Amino acid sequence: MDDGRRPFADRREAGRELAALLTDPDRAATVPLGPGTLVLGLPRGGVLVAAEVAAALGAELDVVAVRKLGLPGHPELAMGALAAVGDTVETVRSEAVLARHAVDDEAAAAVRRAELAELRRRQEAYRGDRPPPRLAGRTVVLVDDGLATGSTVRAALAAVRGTGPAAVVVAVPVGAPEVCAELDADEVVCLRTPVPFGAVGRYYDDFGQTTDDEVRAALAGTRA
């Protein structure tokens, strides 16, 4: 059952609590988070969490663009996800969802085209002309505001792995325990793993939609 703790006030508070764990000198870390660590937030909400983590680590903050691929007719249900680092786009499938729902190839392709267009729009909105960060040989920390199905984080992992980082850590304030356990990362840090899990929003008092302006402000080290 749920662990009974109060919800996080908002994504910023969740980020501070996650950062406290990551910087705890008594934590048995698999991957050391030393100088040169790069923190990548998953837009939109994950960037606000990541900003607190990066500040605590004294690390560079950036984003990895991701988009859920919603099932046609049931867009809240992820049949996969897209993620991009620079021009490289990775696609992952949610085999469990696709095994239960027949999806026409043309309909699936239409969803991907629409989400790819939005992904590119967000890259432009957040980065402008700024080049993507160097990932090769660095320790990368992927941060989101929570893990329910894990589709977007898996896509982000695939995109980041393709750049040749030294190690990839996934860090989230809350996540479904089975999803945290199955991620192919060098280390997964999940502050809370309540059972049963439900939706990520139930673990926040304020889980309002993060805006593009808030993402840009977080990347600039300010508040919108």
Q: Two tokens at 116?
A: 């790819």
Domain shared by 151 and 54, yes or no: yes
Domain shared by 154 and 213, yes or no: yes
For residue 120, whether the previous peptide bond is cis, meaning omega lies within 30 degrees of 0, is no
Domain shared by 132 and 200, yes or no: yes
Distance between CA atoms of residues 206 and 99, nearest Å: 34
Residue ranges of the chain whose pLDDT lies below 70: 1-4, 224
Domain shared by 96 and 137, yes or no: no
CA atoms within 13 A on the CB side of 23: 16
Domain shared by 114 and 149, yes or no: no
pLDDT at 1: 42
Q: Please give the biggest Cα pair distance in the chain.
A: 52
**Residue showing tokens 């977080």:** 218
Note the pLDDT tens digit of each residue in 76-98: 888 999 998 878 888 988 888 88
Look up the domain containing 176 and give its range. 11-66+128-219
CATH number at residue 162: 3.40.50.2020
Domain count for the chain: 2
Residue 22, in any domain of the structure: yes
Residues in Cβ contact with 48 at an 8 Å cutoff, skipping those fewer than 6 apart: 10, 11, 12, 15, 41, 145, 210, 214, 215, 218
Domain shared by 144 and 212, yes or no: yes
pLDDT at 146: 96
For residue 196, whether the previous peptide bond is cis, meaning omega lies within 30 degrees of 0, is yes
Residue 224, in any domain of the structure: no
Q: What are phi and psi of 12, to 5 degrees?
A: -65, -45
pLDDT at 4: 63
Q: What is the pTM of this model?
A: 0.91
Domain shared by 142 and 177, yes or no: yes
pLDDT at 113: 94
Residue 118 Cα distances to 1, 65, 85, 100, angstroms: 37, 10, 15, 27
pLDDT at 221: 86
